[in-house]
């Protein structure tokens, strides 16, 4: 087995040109980030569903989510996981530890296993979230922080977690937009809320609704708290412009589940003395192309390989190069690759490089074997996929509805009291 090649290490360190000191302050909102060049393969899911959203119901018997990541340096490091309660905007909440947790807010990560029979040596770490000892007693947004030490000095990654107390029932319906000129490109979400026994005196002040498309925090849209129709036990939100979404397009896909031959979307894959390299087939832009319906994972990914039985510890890492070719007359200021790898959309670490000699936008990243959905975005922020991928009302999408309640005279945080996931085609949400 070999360590990560020097070329890979250099390129990977350039990919993660983010530091803790310049990335987050005490008042900044948390977002999915990776700060260390040696940390890869980050995901948080249930053991039974690799596509599960990061939602755990407070007080339920549901199994916890499991945080997975790899340390490409190999060996053992004393990683520590910590939970931080946040407001609905993901800034830290002003709460005492005793108000939030049944015990402590941090604990060491115990489960670590070395990779086996792989060219890239790594150590795989996993930890249940929440665990028996690290357990929130309030609902809301939580940032999952992982440090490479026990003194909480070296932050290496951040993931977002939703802790739900299911007090408000939510019904959602996705339909074509009725707005003039948007019927073929946009989707309208209509909602009905049933507060049950939760007493909310001033919905416009104490209630907050947010909707996310395909698990993408970059597409989180706030909704007016005051409903269009207000009944004693039913609040209706219908035809609101804030709940109007560009349908987007089906995701592109790349299959790295085998390194013995090119999988779906792979032009060629080779093995060198230092590791594996793959080149994805050059992608055209789809901004003006007609819609083509196809099955996708709605932006998700799964770690898997066809050669071995243990995907977390027996999967190779592949240096994978993506290329986007603009159409005639197309010019873009900035292009990003969006792929499920532990980073938020439009992160500078996923900015593509323009190669004038080939006329292509190019990005190389180090991916663990698996199946990945991806797409291309244009910047500057707010980033959007519409120019490069197109938008269609017939696109199949998942929508997640988050209902927050801010106690009027209570503590300075937002309770997550309602949640649902709905699919635009009536399928089971991924």
DSSP 46-100: -SS-TT--SEEETT--PPPEEEEEEETT-S----EEEEEEE-TTSSBP---HHHH
Closest among 7, 70, 3, 73 to 277, alpha carbons compared: 7
Domain covering 169-247+394-423, topology: Immunoglobulin-like (2.60.40)
Per-residue pLDDT, averaged over 63-86, amounts to 96
β-strands 283-284, 317-325: how paired?
Answer: parallel
Does 6-164 carry CATH code 2.60.120?
A: no
Residue 15 has pLDDT above 70, yes or no: no
pLDDT score, position 337: 96
Q: How many other CB atoms are found less than 10 A from the CB of residue 47?
A: 12
Distance in angstroms (rounded) separating the CA atoms of residues 429 and 422: 6
Domain ranges in the chain are 6-164, 169-247+394-423, 252-389
β-strands 301-303, 39-45: how paired?
Answer: unpaired
pLDDT band at 26; cut points 50, 70, 90: low
Q: Do residues 401 and 422 make contact, with C-beta atoms less than 8 angstroms apart? A: yes
Listing DSSP states for 403-417 in one string gives EEE--TTS-SS-EEE
β-strands 140-147, 123-129: how paired?
Answer: unpaired
Largest CA distance in the chain: 69
Give the single-character DSSP code of 429: P
Q: Provide the mean pLDDT of the chain.
A: 89
pTM higher than 0.85: yes
Residue 64 has pLDDT above 90, yes or no: yes
Per-residue pLDDT, averaged over 215-235, amounts to 85
248-304 pLDDT per residue, tens:
999 999 999 999 999 999 999 999 988 999 999 999 999 999 999 999 999 999 999
Same CATH fold, 169-247+394-423 and 6-164? yes
């Amino acid at each position: 087995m070999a360590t990560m090649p020097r070329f890979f290490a250099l390129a990977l360190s350039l990919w993660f040109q983010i530091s803790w000191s310049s990335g987050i302050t005490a008042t900044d909102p948390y977002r999915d980030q990776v700060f260390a060049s040696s940390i890869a393969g980050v995901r948080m899911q249930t053991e039974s569903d690799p596509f599960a959203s990061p939602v755990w119901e407070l007080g339920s018997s549901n199994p916890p989510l499991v945080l997975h990541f790899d340390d490409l340096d190999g060996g053992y490091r004393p990683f520590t996981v910590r939970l931080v309660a946040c407001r609905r905007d993901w800034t830290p909440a002003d709460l005492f530890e005793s108000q939030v947790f049944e015990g402590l807010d941090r604990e060491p990560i115990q489960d670590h296993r070395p990779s086996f029979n792989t060219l890239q040596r790594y150590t795989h770490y996993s930890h249940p979230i929440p665990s028996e000892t690290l357990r929130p007693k309030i609902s809301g947004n939580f940032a999952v922080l992982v440090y490479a030490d026990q003194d909480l000095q070296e932050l290496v990654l951040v993931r977002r977690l939703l802790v739900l107390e299911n007090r408000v029932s939510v019904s959602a319906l996705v339909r074509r937009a009725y707005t003039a000129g948007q019927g073929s490109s946009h989707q309208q979400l209509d909602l009905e809320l049933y507060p049950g026994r939760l007493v909310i005196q001033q919905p416009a002040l104490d209630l907050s609704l947010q909707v996310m498309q395909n698990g993408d925090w970059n597409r989180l849209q706030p909704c007016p708290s005051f409903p269009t129709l207000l009944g004693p036990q039913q609040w209706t939100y219908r035809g609101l412009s804030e709940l109007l979404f560009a349908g987007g397009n089906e995701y592109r896909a790349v299959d790295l589940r085998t390194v013995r031959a090119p999988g779906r979307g792979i032009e060629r894959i080779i093995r060198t003395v230092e590791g594996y390299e793959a080149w994805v087939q050059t992608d055209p832009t789809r901004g003006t192309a007609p819609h083509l319906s196809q099955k996708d994972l709605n932006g998700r990914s799964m770690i898997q390989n066809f050669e071995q039985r243990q995907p977390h510890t027996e999967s190779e890492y592949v240096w994978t190069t993506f290329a986007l070719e603009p159409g005639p007359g197309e010019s873009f200021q900035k292009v990003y690759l969006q792929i499920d790898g532990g980073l938020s959309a439009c992160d500078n670490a996923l900015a593509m490089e323009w190669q004038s000699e080939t006329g292509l936008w190019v990005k190389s990243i180090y991916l663990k074997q698996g199946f990945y959905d991806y797409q291309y975005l244009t910047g500057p922020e707010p980033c959007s996929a519409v120019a490069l991928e197109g938008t269609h009302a017939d696109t199949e999408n998942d929508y997640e509805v988050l209902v927050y309640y801010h106690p009027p005279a209570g503590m300075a945080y937002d309770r997550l009291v309602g949640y649902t996931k709905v699919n635009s085609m009536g399928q089971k949400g991924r």
